[in-house]
């Protein structure tokens, strides 16, 4: 594990969020706070899994969000030329386009799913990311610099699927749920410290940045509500893996103002853990230990914005 972390730290390349002119590269030079704001589009896909005792899949739900408008904002501050502190994040403005597929394997020995439901009327209630980081610049030249990054990140997604249609027992029973009827609600929270390596390149008024992040310490918590069955499922996983990439290119309109475009990508590998089931009608509670449940997520966003250094 130590070797994997060290390799990732050395292999990652990250460029800091704040813009700097070449005159600020000098040793000991402090930099005023840099504020950024941008608008973009986000795509996301989350999956939740239910496993039998033998490890085979009992159920899988695919939640998808596309064309979600997001507001991105951040602030960075460099007390000296070797350290940059940053707080960045984004939040969904509206829900965008969403869907949910629910697959179940109810026939023993059958590799193909036997039950399926689909809800095109799925709504993303909220989604956000918060990223707190510190970058130590280890190598500096007039046009570029490299360093290491340590940070903490949190991501959240919350959906509800309404109505839809179903096909059960290999098509023997089909039908539709009432339009507007809540079927399943699902929310995921990812919390993780991460590490990376940082750098930046500038050529006259152009600046290019990249950030590669890694964490083997991801904590995932999710909550699933089946409204028609009045069942709640709470699941958690620890020490899953995460990979992230940020790339941006910007142009200085003035010495202090930069217009930039950014692409970001996050992948949370599947984490597994126990499930706590609660019947909201009867109050009955069941606990399924081991790797009874699984959860993962991947998302990416494209953003255009402005950064201004005071």
Q: What integer is the mean pLDDT of 292-304?
A: 98
Catalytic residue (one of 62, 121, 223, 226): 226
Share of the chain above pLDDT 70, in %: 91
| Residue 131 among the catalytic residues | no
Picking from 43, 166, 38, 13, the residue whose alpha carbon sits closest to that of residue 103 is 166
pLDDT tens-digit profile of 10-68? 344 333 333 333 333 444 567 889 999 999 999 999 999 999 999 999 999 999 999 99
Catalytic residue (one of 221, 224, 248, 296): 224
pLDDT tens-digit profile of 167-191? 999 999 999 999 999 999 999 999 9
Picking from 71, 66, 185, the residue whose alpha carbon sits closest to that of residue 128 is 71
User: CA end-to-end span of the chain, whole Å?
Assistant: 42
Q: What is the 3-state secondary structure (H, E, C) of the chain?
A: CHHHHHHHHHHCCCCCCCCCCHHHHCCCCCEEEEEEEEEEEEEEEEEEEEECCCCCEEEEEEEEEEEEEEEEEEEEEEEECCEEEEEEEEEECCCCEEEEEEEECCCCCCCCCCEEEEECEEEEEEEEEEEEEEEEEEEECCCEEEEEEEEEEEEEEEEEEECCEEEECCCCEEEECCCCCEEEEEEEEEEEEEEEEEEEEEECCEEEEEEEEEEEEEEEEEEEEECCCCEEEEEEEEEEEEEEEEEEEEEECCCCEEEEEEEEEEEEEEEEEEEEEEECCCCCEEEEEEEEEEEEEEEEEEEEEEEEEC
Catalytic residue (one of 104, 121, 232, 291): 104
Are 135 and 172 a contacting pair, CB within 8 Å? no
Whole-number pLDDT of residue 108 = 87
Q: Give the chain's mean pLDDT.
A: 91
In this predicted structure, the answer to whether residue 9 has a pLDDT above a threshold of 50 is no
Give the span between the Cα atoms of 262 and 247, in whole angstroms: 6
Whole-number pLDDT of residue 65 = 98
Q: How confident is the model at residue 109 (pLDDT cuts 50, 70, 90)?
A: confident
| Residue 221 among the catalytic residues | no
Whole-number pLDDT of residue 275 = 97
CATH superfamily of 2-309: OMPT-like (2.40.128.90)
Q: Who's near 14: CB < 8 A, 6+ residues apart?
A: 135, 147, 149, 196, 197, 198, 199, 209, 210, 211, 212, 213, 246
| Residue 296 among the catalytic residues | no
State pTM to two decimals. Answer: 0.88
How do the domains of the chain map onto residue ranges?
2-309
| Residue 97 among the catalytic residues | no
Picking from 301, 292, 240, 229, the residue whose alpha carbon sits closest to that of residue 48 is 292
Whole-number pLDDT of residue 29 = 63
């Amino acid at each position: 594990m130590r070797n994997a972390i060290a390799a990732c730290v050395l292999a990652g390349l990250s460029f800091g969020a704040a813009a700097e002119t070449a005159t600020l590269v000098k040793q000991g030079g402090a930099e005023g706070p840099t504020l950024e704001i941008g608008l973009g589009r986000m795509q996301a896909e989350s999956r939740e899994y239910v496993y039998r005792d033998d490890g085979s899949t009992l159920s899988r739900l695919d939640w998808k969000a596309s064309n979600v408008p997001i507001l991105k904002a951040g602030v960075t501050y460099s007390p000296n030329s070797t350290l940059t502190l940053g707080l960045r994040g984004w939040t969904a403005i509206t829900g965008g386009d969403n869907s949910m597929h629910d697959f179940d394997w109810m026939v023993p020995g059958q590799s193909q799913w036997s039950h399926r439901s689909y809800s095109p009327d799925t709504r993303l209630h909220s989604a956000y990311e918060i990223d707190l980081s510190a970058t130590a610049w280890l190598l500096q030249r007039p046009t570029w610099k490299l360093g290491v990054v340590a940070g903490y990140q949190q991501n959240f997604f919350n959906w509800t699927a309404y109505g839809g249609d179903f096909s059960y027992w290999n098509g023997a029973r089909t039908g539709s749920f009432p339009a507007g009827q809540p079927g399943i609600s699902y929310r995921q929270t990812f919390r993780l410290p991460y590490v990376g390596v940082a750098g930046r390149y500038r050529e006259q008024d152009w600046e290019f940045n990249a950030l590669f992040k890694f964490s083997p310490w991801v904590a995932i918590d999710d909550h699933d509500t089946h409204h028609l069955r009045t069942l709640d499922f709470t699941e958690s996983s620890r020490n899953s893996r995460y990979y992230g990439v940020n790339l941006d290119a910007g142009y200085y309109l003035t010495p202090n103002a930069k217009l930039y475009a950014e692409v970001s990508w996050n992948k949370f590998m599947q984490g597994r853990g126990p499930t706590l089931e609660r019947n909201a009608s009867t109050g009955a509670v069941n606990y399924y230990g081991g790797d009874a449940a699984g959860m993962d997520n991947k998302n990416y966003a494209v953003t255009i914005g402005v950064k201004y250094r005071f």
